[in-house]
Chains A and B, each alone.
Chain A
Amino acid sequence: MIDIKNLTKSFGNTVAVKNLNLYVAKGEIYCLLGANGAGKTTTINSLLNLVLPEDGTAKIDGLIVTDEPLNTKEKLTYIPENLALYPALSGVENLQFFCGLSGIKLSDSNAVSNLKAAGLQEDATHKRVGGYSKGMRQKVGIALAIARSSEVLLLDEPTSGLDPAASSDFATLLTEMKERGAAVLMATHDLFRAKETGTKIGIMNRGSLVDELNAADVTHSDLEKIYLNHMRA
């Protein structure tokens, strides 16, 4: 579903991503670990066509992102680290607006049921988003993915700053999305969440994918050791 081949991108003299090869299949959660500046966000931005690679290709569902940016965006939902919405509008209205940009018209009741499916309490759905916590806003992002039946989810450190309960709720939602058949690529610093939620874990260092593991094959402590070894190498 997500297919990155030999992707290279530099910013001036700094190589952000070097010869990256990565594949995320349907029903898979791929957690991308790495220190700040390892190239995780550049990888996600390449899939959003926000940065143009110097070499290699990024494909979503077989479509080359740089060739068909709007068609590929129809298949994905992106949730940044700090999902910002229109504070004067309610959760329902925000969801209706962003769905509408993909050509999906959501009735109020559909919007509410999608938000509820994403874990938002019903009484919050008609309240102004200005009063939402970060976790609630992330849930609107998930509701967007549910409403649009997105085949691909790109998440850039979505749980950073969330309290453990909210983080756990979010992980549950991701698992549900995976079960619906979505391919999820999540950049994160949270080793515990990566092991718990992910099906595959990739470790990036200085723009390169230095290791790739099956989440089921490693324990928490093994993962931490492997990660630290790569970071110190």
Chain B
Amino acid sequence: MMTHIFSFEWLHFRKSGVFWGTATALPLLIGFSLFLGSERINEQNETISDIIATETVFYDNMRSQLEAIERGEAEVDAWFQNPANPLVLGQFGQAGRHIFLHPNPLAPLAAGQLDILPYYGKVTLTTMEPLRDNALENPFMQVSGSFDFAFVLVWLVPLFIIVMGYNVISSERERGTYSLLQSQPVSMRTILVQKMIFRFLLVFGIIILSLFVWAVLFGINLFNIQGLQLIAAISIYAAFWFALCVLFNLFQTSSAINAVGLTGLWVFFLLIIPSVISLIVISLHPVPSRALWITEQRAIQQAIQAEGDAIFDTWVVDHPEEFVEGDTPQFYDTWIRRFVWAQATEEREREAERQFEEPRERQAQLASRLRVLSPPMTLQAWLERKAGTDKDRLRSLEKEMRSFQQEWQEFFLPRFQRLEFFTADELTDLPAPQ
């Protein structure tokens, strides 16, 4: 029976504009989204390669210069030109290391928070600068915005499913074929379910086929466990929307009511629930404003400036072994103070930051729990997690930068504090991020 209904549904669909519309529009939308996604990630990879190359050239030049100085073939006039100076190697100009969150294999599928949160940053002895592509560096960010496969799947596919499934039974009633079907030795429920299964397979097949064909063309590898997980997620999501269509077809309602009702559910799951969740989360765990945080930072910096000498004197008393007394160059006196103040500023800022971060963490936890109320939100979050473009991963950049900065400081600061300069051989072993 199933084969029979499938073959006639196929016959019917071949003669229907709805099918040809879906079979044309869906692959084009998926192809366009993957094109934009793969271009975005290509640009991202190019940015990363360019930065790594620049960084490598910089430290290679430093080493060559130092070798020339050691051989007596070159001289330096000023301390800030000396490639053996820990400050020159760890702090000034192009010195420092970049930390990257390399794109995941599925990154072209979901832009996620890439347009808001940075995916790389530069670390020096005293600074941490999170960076991201802007429209000038990466015009695809401007063209694509958030038009990615996740958007097509989460937002647009349900509309195609509604178009395919809203009137399976109501159209029979409106066409007049319902009474003839009712007189057949097959239950209407069987006919409804089998017709829906066929339409599900049709939409699912179009999505998967388009996804894999375009993915191969754009060099995105989906022939792995992640590809299988993606197929499973797509099938569950499509089944959810088809199940809603089945539900509406079980009522004796007209096609118009079904269409309005299903579109209403689309609005409910994709717009209303997220807004309500956002309202609940903001109301229960309000986060102090950003302006307040900036004011707090300024207050800390002013306090450090005011207490500058006292802070440094205390540090000298506490760390006599890390400080060279006597006839030291002027840059040493200036920079040893700056490092001490930077450390004090960071300690105070980290403590103040907690009052801003904690409510944000609670917000994120609550939002994540409430997200299950909306399958589209759940799928979007899952896709972003798989693509590595979710908030949590991008926020982890700051943690990674902080951790690497500690390593960088541990390498350079003791040498600076003891005024010990580097040799060319030592430059081959500079710390680098994992």
Q: Chain A: residues with CB nearer than 8 A to chain B?
A: 48, 50, 70-71, 73-74, 76-78, 80, 82-89, 93, 96-98, 100-103, 141, 154
Contact = CB atoms under 8 A, between A and B. Distances in A.
Interface string B394-425: 00000000000000000000000000000000
B179 to A, nearest CB: 5
Interface stretch (B181-189, B326-334, B337-345): B181-189
Contacts of B184: 73, 98, 101-102
B11 interface: yes
A165 B1 CA distance: 38
A83 B181 CA distance: 11
Contacts of B185: 70-71, 73-74, 101-103
Nearest to A105: B4
A86 B4 contact: no
A70 B16 contact: no
Contact of A78 (B177, B180, B186): B180
B16 A88 contact: yes
Contacts of A85: 177, 180
A89 B176 contact: no
11 contacts: A71-B185, A76-B183, A77-B183, A80-B179, A84-B177, A85-B177, A85-B180, A86-B177, A89-B15, A100-B8, A101-B184
Interface of B: 1, 4, 8, 11-12, 15-16, 175-177, 179-187, 191
B175 A98 contact: no
Nearest to A96: B8
B187 A70 contact: yes
Given A88-B12, A88-B16, A89-B15, A78 B176 contact: no
Contact of A97 (B8, B175, B176, B183): B8
A85 to B, nearest CB: 7
A70 B190 CA distance: 12
A48 B182 contact: yes
A156 to B, nearest CB: 9
Contacts of B12: 86, 88-89
Contacts of A103: 1, 185
Given A86-B12, A88-B16, A89-B15, A98 B182 contact: no
A78 B183 contact: yes
Contacts of B180: 78, 80, 83-85, 98, 141
Contacts of B183: 48, 73, 76-78, 154
A101 B5 CA distance: 8
A82 B177 contact: no
